[in-house]
Amino acid sequence: MKNIKFLFLAFFLFLAFTTKVNAQDIDNDGTPDSIDNCKFTYNPTQEDTDGDQIGDICDCEPMLSNPLGQHIPAILINASPSTTITTGTLVNFSSTIDAGGSSPIYQWKKNGFNVGINSPTYSDNLLNNGDIITCELTSDVVCVSGNSKLSNALTFVVNTLSVIENNLNDDGIILYPNPSKNEIYIKSTIKINTIDIIDINGRIIKKIKVENTKFTIDNLNDGIYFIRINSNEKSIYKKIIIQ
């Protein structure tokens, strides 16, 4: 009987600890969402002065017990593919909000300056090393403690592709300068017929018939592009940065 009780105890302890480890914690404050009294706002102390199960940091009226009361607006943002990227990478930002009301207002910010439009998402392919992206949420629900909240901050590490990295393949073709603004020159040991400029979504945005050793790019937006160099024998791909 003792062995059976021990096994049951071990089983329940296993469930308890595995549940804690695997529980979702959206604000990364160490408290699982299932018991977090402010699951969208970092509050590891879980302070709740009025004891209404709404943490002080997200309680519209932290001194008045009101379990069904309004939360202070909260917003968390994420970046895809990552906050560590190479120059010209298109980054898509998304948001998760709480207490936004029926018509929430989003103001995205880059290094503190307004960017984007009133939308729960934002995209940017002109990020530089050290850039910081945030988003301010304004709710249309009146809250004693305020109806606006700034999101978490995402700081970017941006690695610049070099000319050497762009020409690692020993294929007899060099493009320079890279990054470039207006013109790109070609050095090649093979005959080139045409060049296709392809964006990061795989779309051909410009076709060029090669008649000399350079081509212009001044009408293209800043970002990363792929150059498909077509010869009689094969096609060779290169990566360029326009800025």
- Position 43 scores a pLDDT of 92
Q: Average of pLDDT values for 36-46?
A: 91
Q: What is the pLDDT of residue 149?
A: 92
Q: Is position 123 within any domain? A: yes
pLDDT band at 84 (very low <50, low <70, confident <90, very high): confident
Q: Clarify whether residues 204 and 167 are in a common domain.
A: yes
In a domain, 188, yes or no: yes
Cα-Cα end-to-end distance for the chain: 75
Number of domains comprising the chain: 2
**Within a domain: residue 98?**
yes
- Among 62-76, 136-150, 160-174, 217-231, the range with the most confident prediction by mean pLDDT is 136-150
The number of helices, as runs of H, and strands, as runs of E, in the chain is 2, 17
Same structural domain, 89 and 144:
yes
Domain containing residue 105: 70-159
- pLDDT, residue 15, reads 35
Q: Is 75 in the same domain as 155?
A: yes
Spatial distance between the Cα atoms of 216 and 221, rounded to a whole number of angstroms: 13
pLDDT, residue 178, reads: 83
Judge if 148 and 89 occupy the same domain.
yes
Whether 9 shows a pLDDT value over 50: the answer reads: no
Closest CA to 212 of 188, 239, 241, 196: 188
Look at residue 154 and tell me if it is in a domain.
yes
Are 130 and 102 within one domain? yes
pLDDT grade for 116, boundaries at 50, 70 and 90: very high
Note whether residue 27 is domain-resident: no
Select from 99, 124, 159 the last residue of a domain: 159
CA 112, 115, 118, 119 torsion-angle sign: negative
Q: What is the pLDDT of residue 37?
A: 92
pLDDT category at 169 given cuts 50, 70, 90 is low
Kindly report the pTM of this predicted structure: 0.58
Identify the CA nearest to 133 among candidates 163, 100, 166, 106.
106
More confident residue, 224 or 80: 80
Residue 134 lies in a domain: yes
pLDDT in tens, 192-227: 888 888 887 677 888 888 777 788 887 888 888 888
Tell me, yes or no, whether 173 and 151 share the same domain: no
Beta bridge partners of 80: 92
pLDDT above 90 covers what percent of the chain?
A: 30
Q: Are residues 131 and 175 in the same domain?
A: no
